[in-house]
Amino acid sequence: MSKLIELLMEAHRKSCRRDNVSTVVLRESWNSNGQDLYKSITAAMMTLGGIHAPIKRCYVMIGRHLRNEPSLPYDLVPGFGSSFFKGAIDPILYDLSDYINVNHTQYEDIAIKIHNKLIDQGKNLYPNIAFYTAAVAHIEQQGILFCEKVLIEARIPEWIKILQEYEKE
C-alpha cells in the first residue's frame, strides 16, 4: 500500500470516530438487532451511499479540472466544507494534505483555485475528506469505485472497535 493510501485510510479511520451518521446508525442497529455484528455493519454501510455521494461528484469535478474542461457551478461544491470545522481544514487531514502539497501539487492547485472562487462568493470553505479521497483516487490512477472501497475498508475495523468499546460501557 502506498504512503498516500495509508494516509487516506488513517484520515477515514479518524473521521469514523466522530458521531457521524454511519457511526450513530451502527450503535442504534447494535441495540435494536440483538447485538448482531453483521446487521449493524450492514446498516452503517447503507448510510454511506447517499451521504458520501459528494466523493463521487468530487472525483468527476477534479477530473474536469485536470482536463481543463469547464467546471461545475461553484454554488454547491462537493468536497468542500465541514460540519465539524468551520473556516478551517479538518486537523485529521493535515498529514494527507501536506503529502499531496509536496508530491502532487496540481491537486493542491485545484483545491486553492476552488477555495478562492468560494471566498469570492463569501464562502470560507476548505477541502474536506471527500476532496482528498477523490484526489488520491486520481493520483493512484484508480476509478471512482476506489473511493467507496477506501471508505468502507477504513471504517469496518473502526466500527468493530467502537462496538467493542460500546459493549464495555
- Full pLDDT tens readout for the chain, 169 residues: 688 888 888 888 887 766 678 888 888 998 897 888 999 999 888 887 665 567 778 888 888 888 888 766 656 677 787 767 777 788 888 899 899 988 898 888 888 888 888 888 888 888 888 888 889 989 888 877 888 788 888 889 988 988 888 888 7
Domain boundaries, position 43 = 3-168
Q: How far is CA 76 from CA 35, 38, 125, 132, 140, in A?
A: 39, 35, 11, 17, 26
The reported pLDDT for the residue numbered 79 is 78
Can you give the pLDDT at residue 74? 59
Phi, psi of 144 (to 5 degrees): -65, -30
* pTM of the predicted model as reported, rounded to 2 decimal places: 0.80
State the total domains in the chain: 1
Q: List, in order, residues 6 or more apart from 97 with CB less than 8 Å away.
A: 89, 108, 127, 132
